[in-house]
Structure 1
Amino acid sequence: MSSLLSIEGVWKHFHGNSVLRGIDLEVRSHEVVSLIGASGSGKSTLLRCANLLETVDDGVIRLDGEEITDPRVDVDGVRKQLGIVFQAFNLFPHMTVLANITLAPRRVHGVSRERAEQEARDLLAKFGLADKADAYPDQLSGGQQQRVAVVRALATRPKLILLDEVTSALDPELVREVLGIIRELKESGMTMLLTTHEMSFCREISDTVCFLDGGVLLEKGPPDQLFGDPEHERTRAFLQGVRESGRL
């Protein structure tokens, strides 16, 4: 099976510091790939490069065979094929839930208002939010806001969804409902690249787990192998710390 997303030799520098160092990674269709590692290891930067929110300093990224790091690429056209969900929700506070979800399908993809609203309501119902269509973000719990953010990403029918620590801003009791949505997305065959600190969930849901350390993709493999018998001492030390904190 060919790769939907291919990252080859990607470097990214900020103010003279290399935050990504020659990253090689492939995400195949219907696969869930998780990025783990300490804060500052480069996980979120890698997602932002994949969505062209950051430009790479060296290397190539391809989406469905197209080199999207080519300076001549249509950035908006690339982003039409991707959904991204941030840890801070990023909903427009002055818009209702329905307006937040239908904005991109209508303005970017040219979908009619009637069709966009019907599809949005169908998605809201699927994820237990049918009664929140006319609510504003500040009338929702954090878990509900994050679920709306996921629905908004799905509304454009992306080939790939990028999820950046989508539970880190939530109270512990709200984490479960958001993880439930991600589990449903996997069961539906959605292709996902995500960063997470939820290690037990990562082990359950991932097809491939990648450990980043200091901007280097140090180790990757199936979750049982990486969590059960990692090759590198640095990976073992990181996972030991996770276990001691009760997160695995």
Structure 2
Amino acid sequence: MAFLELTDVDKSYGDHQVLNGITLQVEKHQVVCLIGASGCGKSTLLRTINGLEEIQGGEISLDGDVISGEGVDLNAIRTRIGIVFQSFNLFPHMTALENITLAPRRVLGVSKAEADDYAMKLLTRVGLADKANAYPDKLSGGQQQRVAIVRAVAMNPDVILLDEITSALDPELVAEVLNIVKDLAAEGLTIVMATHEMSFAREVADTIAFLHEGRVLESGPPDQIFTAPREERTREFLHRIVEAGRL
């Protein structure tokens, strides 16, 4: 069994089926990038993994524990699976440091001194130690997104989910955020990432999963997906990406 495993996962909103029999395996320390057109189910898939969306069928497991369905402890799951969204979702009335230390103190019971110390180490790693006492409205979009990533990492999760984390950023800010992800991947953090940054996905991912109409149409190593995709729909998608100059 894979470290993180989705088996025949279904998700619908009323009559609209968003995920249709999704099966995906993620090994520990792997980076899996979800690609596909807008509306294919990438974001919904990530939200089902940490219980933000209930599934109607199938099963999700983490390190052998079932984490979907009735009776699961969602709060416990969310201490093991961090998520970062395209909108930064920082608390506007809290400083960067306070945003990062809130969950470790409230949820994990870490002391203020220990939480502050760890948060400062993380902020230093992402080049934001001097912004520890700044409020979100005094930070650029790229800085806010780096704080959001640090906030997720501060919980020491087993898996981190990244949902189009660069799509709300100006182009010149994208690289500074992706460099943080690259560093986390190099350190062995297990990452599942929905992204439109194809060159980044090709460079960093262990596995690429191409989603189409709520299904994983095909998955494999980046070289195979980007140079020799098996499915016609994958070839069409990548052709459009190349034409747009994004690969």
TM-score by length of 1: 0.99
Contact 2:40 2:211 in 1 (8 A): yes
Distance 1:215 1:175 in 2: 27
Alignment of 1:137-148 (within 5 A): 137-148=136-147
Indicate the residue corresponding to 1:85 in structure 2: 84
Aligned residue number for residue 35 of structure 2: 36
Structure-1 separation of matches of 2:229 and 2:239: 11
CA distance in structure 1 between the aligned counterparts of 2:96 and 2:185, rounded to whole angstroms: 24
Q: Tell whether 2:156 aligns with 1:157.
A: yes
Q: Deviations over 1:121-164 (max 9, x none)?
A: 01000110000100000000000000000000000000000000
1:194 Cα deviation (Å)?
A: 0.4
**What are structure 2's unaligned runs of at least 5 residues?**
none
SS at match of 2:23: strand
Q: Deviations over 1:165-205 (max 9, x none)?
A: 00000000000000100110011111000000000000000
Query: Which letter maps to 1:223?
Result: P
Q: Which residue number in structure 1 is paired with residue 70 of structure 2?
A: 71
Map 1:94-109 → 2, pairs under 5 A = 94-109=93-108
Deviation for aligned residue 1:15 = 1.9
| Residue number in structure 2 paired with 1:3 | 2
Cα deviation, 1:52-92, whole Å, max 9, x if unaligned, reads 00000000000111111131111101111011100001000
Aligned-pair Cα RMSD in Å: 0.6
Q: Distance in 1 between matches of 2:229 and 2:214?
A: 18
* Aligned counterparts of 1:68 and 1:82: Cα–Cα separation in 2: 11
TM superposition score normalised by structure 2: 0.99
Is contact 2:96-2:134 (8 Å) kept?
yes
Q: Which runs of 5+ in 1 are unaligned?
A: none
* AA of the residue aligned to 1:171: D
In the alignment, is residue 12 of structure 1 matched against residue 11 of structure 2?
Answer: yes
Corresponding residue pairs, total: 247
Structure 2 match to 1:111:
110
